[in-house]
Amino acid sequence: MEQQALPRHIAFIMDGNGRWAKKRGLPRTAGHRAGTQNVMKIVEHCGDLGIECVTFYAFSTENWSRPAAEVNALMSLLGEFLEKNLMRLHTNGVRIRILGEASPRFGEALTATLHSAVELTKNNTKMILNVALNYGGRAEIVRAFKAMHADAEAGKLDFDAVDEKTVQDYLYTAGCPEPDLLIRTSGEQRISNFLLYQLAYTEFVFTPVSWPDFTPERLDEALRDFASRSRRFGGLDKESKC
């Protein structure tokens, strides 16, 4: 696939882990484990393709309402993923960033692991791996405007000069191109409070395949779909006279 046809930034909503497990008579935690194991395959494939940035919706602010046992399992799996793959990601030039509010509910061990991952990889430049954790799109926008207000009050920001670029610079994703492509697995067709500001001109691919079964080959199919689309950003095709 030609480089110019590839997205610079792909965002993933990894849906269907629980349903994948249920179909196999397994507990939901088994589905989450299978889904977590799949992340590295997709990250490495994106790296091989030269994708600049990938963002994974790992845990939303609304996910705290799930049963405590499932939440604890998800946090444990995230910690395991980082501990197992951190040096591999670092060696491959991947910078890890966490999108979302830090929470004492992560626990000391996971908080320390997240901090170590971010610090170790902060100067890497091959690819950015964003992990959206305790993340909500509306909360992100509120946080950005509060930060702008505080900087304006402190004389660090001319509020009358605020434009769209300024807002982008106060979002968690500052420094990343906006997502060119959003992929959501398992058949759901909504964005679920994810990257609300950033998805203004993103192309969407919704696939019925559950996340644990979303292989690099499935990603290539989505990328071919993306490459076939005409992205006009509100304008007209160059060839169009209408």
Confidence of residue 231 (pLDDT cuts 50, 70, 90): confident
Cβ atoms of 165 and 197 closer than 8 Å? no
Q: Is residue 200 part of a domain?
A: yes
> 154-168, pLDDT tens digit by residue?
999 998 999 999 999
- Looking at the DSSP bridge assignments, the partners of residue 215 are none
The count of structural domains within the chain is 1
Q: Is residue 53 part of a domain?
A: yes
pLDDT exceeds cutoff 70 at 236: no
Backbone angles phi, psi at 27, to 5 degrees: -70, 155
Q: How far apart are CA 32 and CA 230, in angstroms?
A: 35
Q: Is residue 187 part of a domain?
A: yes
Indicate the Cα dihedral angle 184, 189, 191, 192, nearest 10°.
-110
- Is 72 a residue of the active site? no
pLDDT exceeds cutoff 70 at 234: no
Q: What is the pLDDT of residue 238?
A: 59
Lowest mean pLDDT across 31-35, 69-73, 233-237: 233-237
Q: What is the pLDDT of residue 5?
A: 87
Report the phi/psi class of residue 174: left, alpha or beta, with left for phi > 0 and alpha for psi in -120 to 50: beta
Tell me if residue 203 falls in helix, strand or coil: strand
Confidence of residue 2 (pLDDT cuts 50, 70, 90): low
Structural tokens at position 149: 């207000």
* E runs forming strands in the chain: 9-13, 53-60, 94-99, 127-135, 181-184, 203-206
> 44-93, pLDDT tens digit by residue?
999 999 999 999 999 999 999 999 999 999 999 999 999 999 999 999 99
Q: What is the CATH number of the domain that holds 88?
A: 3.40.1180.10
Structural tokens at position 194: 């994810």
Q: Give the residue among 43, 25, 34 at the shortest CA–CA distance from 73.
A: 34
User: Given 15, 17, 85, 130, which residue is catalytic?
Assistant: 15
HEC letters along 40-73? HHHHHHHHHHCCCEEEEEEEEHHHHHCCHHHHHH
Q: Is residue 163 part of a domain?
A: no
User: Given 63, 92, 124, 193, which residue is catalytic?
Assistant: 63
Q: What is the pLDDT of residue 237?
A: 66
Q: How far apart are CA 24 and CA 210, in angstroms?
A: 13
Q: What is the pLDDT of residue 232?
A: 72
Lowest mean pLDDT across 143-152, 157-166, 225-234: 225-234
Domain encompassing residue 94: 3-136+178-226
- Is 15 a residue of the active site? yes
